[in-house]
Structure 1
């Protein structure tokens, strides 16, 4: 593959490990790296002069944080220098069909992030959803003007199926990228995801 993204969200990571991760990302010509928000400033310094973009996760890993908490987290991440924010959708609200809450969360965060001209991606765990829930998510988030929808957080052992990716691609506007994040994604698997309609592959590093 010509380009790849890396996520380093190990809960026991150290500054030294994060610095090495940044060095590796530059050597591998990563387009974007996703890091915990507390490391954004250090990572930005480490990547100074590099084209690698910095992304962080908001409401990670399950999206349970109240909207107000996600807003505060997003604002701080942007102040610290994040280029993109990946918002984890509240899975409890989703599984309870609280689409009004999800729409409020989406619209509130999107307005704040767009005001700062940052990229925004909303993250769902497709393997935990029914076909109907996945369709409704694509309907809600796809028309909102986001840049990307991620179909995995990287935490589940099983990644979204090829059919899930195809279903998402059929449902979403072409301008909305589909991202798949996971551990041990081989080049063969990545190429299959890209052929199915994904356009961003994130390798989950531990």
Structure 2
């Protein structure tokens, strides 16, 4: 797999609290140049970004981010607002405390409501694997599948750890056939990216791969 093919799986991401419009614009320009799957940016920049890219790049944003403990009503409102502003993909964070309280029906109901708010737009569900037990990860694979989301996603990148090969392998084995896997957090090399894809990740959340390409003299070459 060459680097250009890997980049087609990448949600080119900038979600830092200090992100400026000039930095977001660079993410968008690079996403278009390198044909990434999307640009994943803060909700406050969605409208401006959607107008800027003029349909040349899908705009993704995050909901209930990064802690996930907003009320369901707030998450649904955030989702509807983002889509009205031009987002075509939504990455939501689950309520982790609710999961640990074993309120599985409530976790599923929240995802269902957000998916309903998404309509035909893509919904990815961030479960923050670094904070979960293996049993909780498997349970979330079941819940995300039942709730009808499009993706299950490993991490926000803002907690104690990011994506691991083991978690992607586990998720791919336990999630339903209609649900895809996104690995995010700490993906820093094309070798790691290729391994995540081999294990079953359809999307990768990272900004580092594009940075590598921009600093590479052989940007189109294999590796």
Cα distance between partner residues in 2 of 1:9 and 1:154? 9
Instruction: Please report how far the alpha carbon of residue 204 of structure 1 lies from its aligned counterpart in structure 2 after TM superposition.
Output: 4.3
Aligned in 2, Cα 1:204/1:157: closer, same or farther, shift over 3 Å? farther
Please, what TM-score do these two structures have when normalized by structure 2?
A: 0.85
2:24 aligned with 1:21, yes or no? no
TM-superposed CA distance for 1:59, in Å, is: 0.3
Deviation at 1:184, TM superposition (A): 4.7
Partner of 2:109: 104
Specify the alignment match of 1:33 in structure 2.
Answer: 39
Given that residues 146 and 176 in structure 1 are in contact (C-alpha distance below 8 angstroms), is that contact kept between their aligned partners in structure 2? yes
Structure 1 residues not aligned, in runs of 5+: none
- Assess if the C-alpha contact under 8 Å between 1:182 and 1:204 holds in 2: no
- Structure 2 residue aligned with 1:87: 92
In structure 2, how many angstroms separate the alpha carbons of the residues matched to 1:40 and 1:127?
28
Q: Tell me if the contact between 1:89 and 1:102 (Cα under 8 Å) persists in the aligned partners.
A: yes
Q: What whole-Å deviation, never above 9, does each CA across 1:109-152 have from its counterpart, x for those lacking one?
A: 222222xx211111111121101000100011113221111011
Large movers: runs of 4+ above 4 Å: none
C-alpha distance in 1 between matches for 2:27 and 2:154: 24
Pair 1:166-2:169 in alignment: yes
- The alignment status of 1:45 with 2:48, answered yes or no, reads no
Aligned to 1:152: 155
Q: Does 1:60 align with 2:70?
A: no
Query: What is aligned with 1:193?
Result: 196
Is the Cα–Cα contact under 8 Å of residues 162 and 186 in structure 2 kept in the other structure? no
Q: Is the 8 A contact 2:182 2:204 kept in 1?
A: yes
The alignment partner of 2:123 has SS state of strand
Per-residue CA distance 1:31-78 (angstroms, 9 max, x = gap)? 11111111011111211141x111110000011100111111111111
